[in-house]
């Protein structure tokens, strides 16, 4: 989504992240699923790549990550390789003009991921210009965490992780990220959500019928997404999949958000109090009608409490 809208509402976080990285410290971005960790890291990566050698390690298996690390080190830093990974037929040329990635990628792919990472790490350590390694997600199994530990020993790292992560498993990595420098992403503010929706609709025109539906739709997204970018994205895609978005669609959309704030409990409590009072008044005034009426009311109140309200709650 951010490809269409740009990164919205993260100026403060970006500023802090830039400061941290400029100091040479490692940076950790935390936050719940879909809050925009990858988008923020990616933005920093694109911004810094022209200035210094930056590597991007996407989520993936240990093997994929190790090979990517080696490839990007080769491309941006210079990968120093032992001759045994260069196929015989290329050795002479490799000595003369250096190694080409195509020659070695298969033999590097056959190495255990740990060894492949160690080669990249050795080259990162020896680099004239210090590399900056972006790690899309630190949430990895222990063997993969070992790989990241090897990288963290030799290079500056900017990484993301879910705050709900079982941190125990990657404690070995976390001490490398100074607590003060961590950035926890919060949901987007309402204005930022509105801005994202506006920019997205500019890039992907959606027909609203009648036109006023557009504003109602924007409000529904603001409320329903609670500012979580992945949720905003889901709703925008849903809208885009309709030929025309009408009141009906928006109502279906905001239905859940609507009921969440419509808490009927106080009304029911007051109604029950009134009904009980009516029963006593009925008794005192010797009015059978009022007494019976209050009894029926009581029954209705119980029905509302036990049957209707739980159904409303379930929609949350
Ligand atoms: N500030 C933002 N402005 C515009 N789009 C954003 C913003 N933050 C995130 N997005 C978009 O929202 C979607 C979800 O964001 P992203 O994938 O970065 O979340 P995440 O925290 O990395 O999720 P996960 O926990 O699943 O890895 C992406 O399509 C992304 O482009
Ligand atoms: Mg992510």
pLDDT digits (tens, 9 = 90+) for 183-207: 999 999 999 999 999 999 999 999 9
Span from the CA of 278 to the centroid of ligand 2 (angstroms): 59
Q: Identify residues whose C-beta is under 5 A from ligand 2, the ion.
A: 37-38
Pocket test for ligand 1, best of 230, 232, 235, 240 (most atoms within 8 A of CB): 230
Span from the CA of 198 to the centroid of ligand 2 (angstroms): 23
Flag whether pLDDT at 221 surpasses 90.
yes
Q: How far is CA 102 from the centre of its chain?
A: 35
pLDDT digits (tens, 9 = 90+) for 83-107: 899 999 999 999 999 999 999 999 9
Percentage with pLDDT > 70 across the chain:
90
* Whether the CB of 35 sits within 6 Å of ligand 1: yes
Span from the CA of 225 to the centroid of ligand 2 (angstroms): 18
Pocket test for ligand 1, best of 9, 13, 34 (most atoms within 8 A of CB): 34
């Amino acid at each position: 989504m951010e490809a269409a809208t740009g990164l919205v509402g993260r100026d403060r976080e970006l500023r802090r992240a830039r400061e941290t990285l400029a100091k040479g410290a490692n940076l950790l971005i935390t936050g719940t699923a879909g809050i925009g960790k990858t988008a923020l890291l990616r933005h920093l990566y694109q911004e810094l790549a022209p200035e210094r050698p930056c590597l991007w390690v996407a989520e993936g298996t240990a093997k994929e990550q190790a090979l990517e690390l080696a490839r990007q080190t080769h491309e941006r830093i210079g990968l120093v390789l032992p001759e045994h990974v260069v196929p015989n037929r290329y050795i002479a040329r490799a000595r003369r003009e250096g190694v080409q990635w195509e020659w070695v990628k298969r033999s590097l792919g056959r190495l255990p991921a740990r060894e492949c990472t160690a080669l990249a790490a050795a080259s990162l350590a020896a680099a004239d210009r210090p590399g900056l390694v972006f790690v899309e997600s630190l949430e990895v199994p222990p063997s993969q965490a070992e790989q990241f530990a090897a990288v963290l020993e030799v290079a500056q790292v900017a990484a993301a992780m879910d705050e709900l992560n079982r941190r125990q498993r990657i404690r070995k990595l976390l001490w490398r990220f100074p607590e003060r420098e961590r950035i926890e992403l919060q949901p987007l503010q309402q204005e930022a959500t509105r801005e994202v929706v506006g920019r997205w609709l500019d890039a992907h025109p959606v027909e609203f019928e009648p036109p006023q539906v557009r504003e109602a739709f924007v409000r529904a997204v603001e409320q329903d997404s609670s500012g979580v970018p992945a949720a905003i994205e889901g709703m925008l895609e849903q809208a885009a999949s309709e030929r025309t978005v009408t009141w009906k669609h928006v109502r279906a959309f905001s239905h859940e958000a609507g009921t969440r704030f419509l808490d009927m409990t106080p009304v029911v409590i007051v109604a029950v109090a009134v009904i009980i009072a009516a029963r006593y008044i009925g008794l005192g005034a010797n009015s059978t009608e009022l007494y019976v009426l209050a009894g029926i009311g009581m029954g209705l109140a119980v029905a509302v409490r036990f049957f209707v309200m739980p159904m409303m709650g379930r929609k949350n």
